[in-house]
A and B are shown apart, each in its own frame.
Chain A
Amino acid sequence: MAEQHQEARVPTVIADELHIVYKVNGAKKGKGSATAALSRILRRGEERGVREVHAVRGVSFVSYKGEAIGLIGSNGSGKSTLLRAIAGLLPAERGRVYTNGQPSLLGVNAALMNDLTGERNVILGGLAMGMSREQIRERYQEIVDFSGINEKGDFISLPMRTYSSGMAARLRFSIAAAKDHDVLMIDEALATGDRKFQKRSEARIRELRQQAGTVFLVSHNNKSIRDTCERVLWLERGELRMDGPTDEVLKEYEEFTAK
């Protein structure tokens, strides 16, 4: 890679030999009974009842401004964990992630409450993502229209628990996509809603990508990766197996999964 070429491109995320280890309580082998737990506590030598999951093992890459990067790999290969580490939501065991600005994960599901109306959830979700009240007020109508919740009557003023799963998913995506981001990470968000809504969300993602510095997309749908990304990272068992142009990596990946 020529030096001038690298100078021209501005890095947005640099991962340097990143390792992520989860600690899971009470997952040590053995029964979950009270006596088993007691004997674990008494046997002090080993870590008591804690099992470690080494989810990401030494991943390094550099992403640049204007790139859309797909993350592929079989289930449990560490894709979502890697995204969370880039967002600074999971602490690194070893290695580092450097980022430009605050990378954000497209997802506000956790901040929303099923017992509240859609209307209050739009406000709560916006605030949770760090939008100001003025920004939310400006975008409110846009969010509701985009979700299409009100196409079949005034549903936005009903509690979210009364929504069908498709409606709830659409509202969640609409809230999450309402904010502009420096580095945006999307974790399989494209699979929600009916065909019409999927088209609308793909268009919104292209828009977000123009505003954002870099977009990361996790998906098991190779077609949506092909449509949106020009570079792909392939993770397998927490290790970076391949990093390159979409066509080349997907070709290898399809051969690998066909086995």
Chain B
Amino acid sequence: MSESTHDGPVAVSPRPAPDDGPTAAELAARYGLSVSGARPAIPAYVRQLWNRRHFIVAFSRAKLSAQYSQAKLGQLWQVVTPLLNALVYYLIFGLILNAGRGLPKDVYIPFLVTGVFVFTFTQTSVMSGVRAISGNLGLVRALHFPRASLPISFALQQLQQLLVSMIVLFVVVMVFGSRPSLSWLLIVPALLLQFGFNTGLALIMARAGAHTPDLAQLMPFVTRTWMYASGVMFSIPAMLEGRPRWIADVLQWNPAAVYMDLIRFALIDGYGSENLPPHVWAVALGWAVVILAGGFVYFWKAEERYGRG
């Protein structure tokens, strides 16, 4: 306390003096005051998040519509961007590098487009997860809400973006000869599982990115490597033909490959179950549960430290 120059007539009581009664902690206990900014237990935390569900949804939708609001074509870019992406990959991998070996042409194009869209879903969830806290420090420092709202909201934004892309995907798949059937309904559980997995990843990346913002520079390289290893533009079993089958199985158990293959299997008539690794649904469920639960706990453990910057 530097009040040395201001003695004299002024009534200075900078703190409850020790002889003046209870200590701060006792006083707090007596009137039921709690420590500000303490981390709640997991059940209470989940309840807080549930209470904020409208904010989470509104924030994700606001981000989505703010994204293209300056462009002349506006929300149309939500559809055009993934389509152009698929076109670029088709030019390079389909025509120039001929990566579609082992797949007939009318299967390869929907195979590629599905792969690009589904992988982009995970990729953008990771990238927006990294910036979920570090890019919104103003919000974190100004308002009180369970911080997990942010990464969850960003993952939700990507899900909505994907649902728009899905319309394009349906058209592409039907142009190349597949017809809507009951198996199309399988994309609902597959996308839900992938959304759970992505949300978990976004939570993990959000905590890591809050501590080390440099990850935003590094992650594009990691996700690109992941993309090339996951069989987005080639069929993993066809590429590994002649080698032991288990190598292909292990590569196909990679979560990105699992979710892509499930959606391809659901949508594309010429892409049968012989292309799927064994126990594929169990693996899809396992990844989703483990990453989501793990990511949630990992994120929650630093709850009171976000915003220090």
Please report A residues at the B interface, Cβ cutoff 8 Å.
1, 3, 6, 10-17, 22-25, 58, 60-62, 84-92, 96-100, 102-105, 107-111, 113, 115-116, 120, 123-124, 127-130, 132-133, 159, 236-237, 239-245, 248-249, 252
Let me know if A244 and B11 touch, CB within 8 A. Answer: yes
Q: Does residue B95 face the partner (Cβ distance < 8 Å to A)?
A: no
Min Cβ gap A32→B in Å is: 14
Q: Known contacts being A110-B136, A110-B142, A130-B144, is A124 close to B33, with CB within 8 Å?
A: no
Q: Does residue B145 face the partner (Cβ distance < 8 Å to A)?
A: yes
Min Cβ gap B107→A in Å is: 41
Let me know if A11 and B62 touch, CB within 8 A. Answer: no
Let me know if A99 and B36 touch, CB within 8 A. Answer: yes
Q: Does residue B225 face the partner (Cβ distance < 8 Å to A)?
A: no
Q: Which of B19-27, B255-263, B282-290 contacts A (4 or more CB under 8 A)?
A: B19-27
Q: With a 10 A CB-CB cut-off, give which of A10, A91, A102 has the most chain B CB atoms.
A: A91
Let me know if A109 and B66 touch, CB within 8 A. Answer: no
Which A residues are in CB contact (< 8 Å) with B213?
A: 25
Let me know if A100 and B32 touch, CB within 8 A. Answer: yes
Which B residues are in CB contact (< 8 Å) with A123?
A: 58
Let me know if B21 and A3 touch, CB within 8 A. Answer: yes
CB within 8 Å of A: which B30-62 residues: 31-38, 51-52, 54-55, 58-59, 62
Q: With a 10 A CB-CB cut-off, give which of B15, B138, B307 has the most chain A CB atoms.
A: B15
Please report B residues at the A interface, Cβ cutoff 8 Å.
1-3, 6, 9-16, 20-21, 23-25, 27-28, 31-38, 51-52, 54-55, 58-59, 62-63, 65-66, 69-70, 136, 138-145, 213, 304-305, 307-309
Which B residues are in CB contact (< 8 Å) with A248?
A: 9-11
Let me know if B65 and A116 touch, CB within 8 A. Answer: yes
Q: Known contacts being A11-B33, A100-B32, is A244 close to B69, with CB within 8 Å?
A: no
Known: A85-B36, A248-B10. 5 other contacts (CB 8 A): A1-B20, A15-B24, A84-B141, A92-B37, A243-B14
Min Cβ gap B27→A in Å is: 6
Q: Known contacts being A89-B142, A113-B62, is A127 close to B54, with CB within 8 Å?
A: yes
Let me know if A87 and B69 touch, CB within 8 A. Answer: no
CA distance A107 to B291 in the complex (A): 35
Which B residues are in CB contact (< 8 Å) with A159?
A: 69
A-B contact pairs, 26 of them (CB 8 A): A11-B27, A11-B28, A12-B33, A22-B309, A25-B309, A60-B24, A85-B37, A87-B36, A89-B143, A90-B308, A96-B24, A97-B35, A98-B25, A98-B36, A99-B35, A100-B33, A108-B143, A110-B136, A110-B141, A111-B143, A113-B62, A113-B66, A123-B58, A124-B55, A128-B55, A244-B11
Which B residues are in CB contact (< 8 Å) with A132?
A: 54
Let me know if A245 and B24 touch, CB within 8 A. Answer: no
Let me know if B142 and A241 touch, CB within 8 A. Answer: no
Let me know if B142 and A103 touch, CB within 8 A. Answer: no
Min Cβ gap A232→B in Å is: 11
CA distance A207 to B23 in the complex (A): 33
CA distance A132 to B53 in the complex (A): 10
Let me know if B139 and A91 touch, CB within 8 A. Answer: no
Min Cβ gap B91→A in Å is: 33
Let me know if A24 and B309 touch, CB within 8 A. Answer: yes
Let me know if B12 and A244 touch, CB within 8 A. Answer: yes
Let me know if A96 and B144 touch, CB within 8 A. Answer: no
The 5 closest A-B pairs by CB, nearest first: A88-B37, A60-B15, A16-B24, A98-B28, A110-B138
Let me know if A14 and B34 touch, CB within 8 A. Answer: no
Let me know if B143 and A60 touch, CB within 8 A. Answer: no
Q: Known contacts being A244-B11, A252-B10, is A128 close to B66, with CB within 8 Å?
A: no
| CB-CB nearest in chain B for A106 | B142
CA distance A128 to B16 in the complex (A): 36
Let me know if B139 and A10 touch, CB within 8 A. Answer: no
Q: Known contacts being A128-B55, A248-B10, is A14 close to B24, with CB within 8 Å?
A: yes
Which A residues are in CB contact (< 8 Å) with B138?
A: 109-110
CA distance A22 to B12 in the complex (A): 28
